[in-house]
Structure 1
Amino acid sequence: MQHVLNHAGALLIGGESFAREVHERLGTAMERFTIVPGAVDTDRFTPADSMRAGPVRLFYHGRVDRRKGVLDMIEALPTVAGEWRCTISGIGPDLDAARALTEERGLGARVTFSGYADYDDVPALYRDHDVFVSPTYAEGFSNTILEAMASGQAVLSCEAVGVVDCLRDGENGLLVRPGDVPALAKSLTRLVNDAALRERLGATALEECRRVYSWHAVGAQIIGVYRSLLGSVPCREFAQNIPVESCRYRAEPHLL
């Protein structure tokens, strides 16, 4: 890994917070990194045509995993005031635990588990909801947050690596500390009961997403990086036999 980080012509990474984590763990100089964020197809992920009446629809979509904060969200829901319903979309190692906790907290009538979603069906799922909830503990760069932003949803997430690079609390989303269930419940209550806040956060996120995170914008940025390397001579100082270092993701691929 160090061979690549030290000698590649360019190092592209999703955000400053992730780059800082690599710097702290492996010592790679920050100036080696070029920040190129994740991207989303803003032609496929689009907002609903109009506001909906009735309960506010909360949406969790992704890996059903306690590291993604789904159990924290379920713990927060019983104290969320107002009229709301919640959909948990996806599968994962903690699906059974999430279902059990939902029943234990008496939320069966208000929380729906929709299971695995084909990618072609996902844009419509976002459009059917009002608030995207991603109480994750860490990300590389969150594709689901970008999809929610492109769908015009208000987003509630956490002050975590890979999230703080695209969301700013009170500007284009709401952020709480990872694992802070009372704060999560308080922010959910705000979003459920304040339509103007939902609309403002969603509109700001949508504009920024189309401007910064669309495939067109990010693709142009990547092309620029490749153009800057034209004519450069690649490093040839690699050892003939690069040792294979242990990798936690090879041993535990479910962490990806």
Structure 2
Amino acid sequence: MRQQSARRAAPDGLFPEVSSTTTLGTGASAPSAEEILDSTDALLDSSVLPVSSPTPRDVLSPDTITIAPPKKIALLVEPTPFTYISGYANRFKELLKHCRRQKDTVEIVTPDDSTNPPKEAYGFRIHNTWSFRLPFYKSLALSTDFPDFKGLRVLKRLKPDLLHVSTPGFLAMTACLYARLLKIPLVMSYHTHLPVYAAKYLGWLPGIVWLSWLALRLFHNLADLTLVTSPQIKSELESHGIQKVDVWQKGIDTETFNPTKRSAAMRSRLSDGHPDDPLLVYIGRLGAEKNLHLLRDVLERVPEARLAFVGAGPCEDELREYFNGTKTVFTGFMTGEALSEAFASGDIFVMPSESETLGFVVLESMASGVPVIGARAGGIPNLIRHGETGFLVQSDDVQQYVDRVRELLSDDALRRRMGEAARREAEQWSWEASMAKLRNIQYPRAILNFRRRMRGGFARLRSRLRLIRIFAVASAVWALRWLTSPFALPAPPLTPAAAATSPSSSDQPTQRERRDVVAFWTV
């Protein structure tokens, strides 16, 4: 990959309230807004990142990025990242930490109907808007921001430099309306692969996948920048007509997820008191989209292995019944130190999900020094180096899973070598670099896209007004000429002698022709 320099200062006046910048590295003189956009196009074009074999050294580090001035940011996030546990929740929490260090002003609007939901996070206000739950997915609190309009009131009072919205969701649709109404730059970050979820939960509806892509295209093309979590998802969205897509660089907390967290007590718990048996671990949400039923077939073909499910979700009861009679443990929901120990205490992490836009649990397992066998789908191939840090298999091919599980369980040296390589890989992906790129390069790019769009809109309006003026003048001139022409008024009847010498009637416009001409110019 060609090396690109990011040592560019943020353009003066990009954020009107502050005109100076502070640099981490050796800053250059401030270019114009257009120059910074043009100079960072290659950096922001995620297609230059290797898709199948990501290399951390290709990613921007925080010491090569100029710090943009403090800004006002509105976050509309659905579901809440504060009481609903998911991979994307960590991403938004790290964003808030970074914004606090950069002295930004941030306010969050999110649906949260839990008991005593938080009112503040990392020093920033949280506004909990009215919410509802879907009958087929009751674990999520969703919102349209109606009827209390908290999001609208926050935006009108805060007057943010940009609006960052998580998608897909009902709140994102409302946010599009707010952004257009109040003329605010709009950033959307895509965290749930809607077509896959729709197929899993609403597959009985004809055309549901097509409708999902249509909805994504309609709403994401209203954004000034769409952020995704892997180059694979970026390519897929672009192939379906979604424009202005970029990759939100991944990150991992390598202190929390660490091989030193391996625990004999936790391994005994995960293996149901048989710590010497081979142990497969899955950590995450227990949902239909995760393709977890496949793992029963793996257990039946590798009878010496045990399986631990760590997490909760809408399909937990169904999975407990389905895996009844197998060597499987369901631990329920874990957090904190227990979760870190669970990641580090297995032999192999299995990830059969087809719906991951990134797959944070894969990164967390790699940081814990545990090799991963993951589906070759979604964003997972962006994380795993096949044969080096883990294995990639076809998501619906049980035999491939079985073969790779046996290969790792039969070779302790290979398993240890892959775990060490996975840890080294994870150490290169820092949250600081991810958030520095987002705040200081991608957010400004969204604002510049917004300004270009606004200028383009005014130019199109002026062009249309000019055409209307030309059309009006031409119509008036033509109408005047037509009204004063010989056929504009009814002619008196001709005498027989005059009729003999007059032009043929076919040379004169008929009444229908006159009506057609008038209709054409008055439409």
> TM-score range with shorter-chain normalisation?
0.7 to 0.9
Cα distance in 1 for partners of 2:318, 2:367 equals: 30
Q: Which residue of 1 aligns with 2:110?
A: none
Unpaired runs of at least 5, structure 1 = 240-256
**Percent of aligned positions that are identical:** 27
Describe the shift of the 1:207–1:236 C-alpha distance in structure 2 as closer, same or farther (beyond 3 A). Answer: same
Across the aligned residues of Structure 1 and Structure 2, the Cα RMSD in angstroms comes to 2.8
Q: Which residue of 1 aligns with 2:242?
A: 28
Instruction: Tell me by how many angstroms 1:228 deviates.
Output: 5.2
Describe the shift of the 1:134–1:50 C-alpha distance in structure 2 as closer, same or farther (beyond 3 A). Answer: closer
Q: Which residue of 1 aligns with 2:410?
A: 193
Q: Which residue of 2 aligns with 1:88?
A: 309
Describe the shift of the 1:50–1:97 C-alpha distance in structure 2 as closer, same or farther (beyond 3 A). Answer: closer
**TM-score, normalising length from structure 2?**
0.40
Cα distance in 1 for partners of 2:405, 2:307 equals: 11
> Which consecutive segments of 4 or more residues in structure 1 shift more than 6 A?
49-53
* Residue 75, structure 1, aligned to residue 297, structure 2: yes
Unpaired runs of at least 5, structure 2 = 1-215, 265-274, 458-523
Instruction: Tell me by how many angstroms 1:46 deviates.
Output: 0.9
Per-residue deviation, residues 84-114 of structure 1 (Å, max 9, x unmatched): 32211112222223222222xx41xx32111
Verify the 8 A CA contact 1:80 1:186 in the aligned structure 2. no
Cα distance in 1 for partners of 2:352, 2:323 equals: 16
Cα distance in 2 for partners of 1:210, 1:33 equals: 26
Per-residue deviation, residues 116-152 of structure 1 (Å, max 9, x unmatched): 2235531121122221111111211111111111111
Cα distance in 2 for partners of 1:64, 1:149 equals: 21
**TM-score, normalising length from structure 1?**
0.78
Describe the shift of the 1:50–1:88 C-alpha distance in structure 2 as closer, same or farther (beyond 3 A). Answer: closer
Task: Kindly name which structure, 1 or 2, has the bigger radius of gyration based on alpha carbons.
Answer: 2
Describe the shift of the 1:100–1:2 C-alpha distance in structure 2 as closer, same or farther (beyond 3 A). Answer: closer
Instruction: Tell me by how many angstroms 1:175 deviates.
Output: 1.1
Give the length in aligned residue pairs. Answer: 230
- For 1:210, give the aligned amino acid: E
| 3-state SS in 2 of match to 1:60 | strand
Describe the shift of the 1:164–1:189 C-alpha distance in structure 2 as closer, same or farther (beyond 3 A). Answer: same
Cα distance in 2 for partners of 1:238, 1:12 equals: 23
Describe the shift of the 1:191–1:231 C-alpha distance in structure 2 as closer, same or farther (beyond 3 A). Answer: closer
Describe the shift of the 1:217–1:152 C-alpha distance in structure 2 as closer, same or farther (beyond 3 A). Answer: farther
Describe the shift of the 1:128–1:177 C-alpha distance in structure 2 as closer, same or farther (beyond 3 A). Answer: same
Instruction: Tell me by how many angstroms 1:190 deviates.
Output: 1.4
Describe the shift of the 1:49–1:138 C-alpha distance in structure 2 as closer, same or farther (beyond 3 A). Answer: closer
Q: Which of 362, 365, 383 is the aligned partner of 1:166? A: 383
Q: Which of 241, 250, 271 is the aligned partner of 1:38? A: 250
Point out the more displaced range, 215-224 or 146-155: 215-224
**Mapping of 1:36-185 within 5 angstroms?**
36-48=248-260, 54-80=276-302, 83-103=304-324, 106-107=325-326, 110-119=327-336, 121-185=338-402
Cα distance in 2 for partners of 1:138, 1:230 equals: 27
Cα distance in 1 for partners of 2:373, 2:328 equals: 17
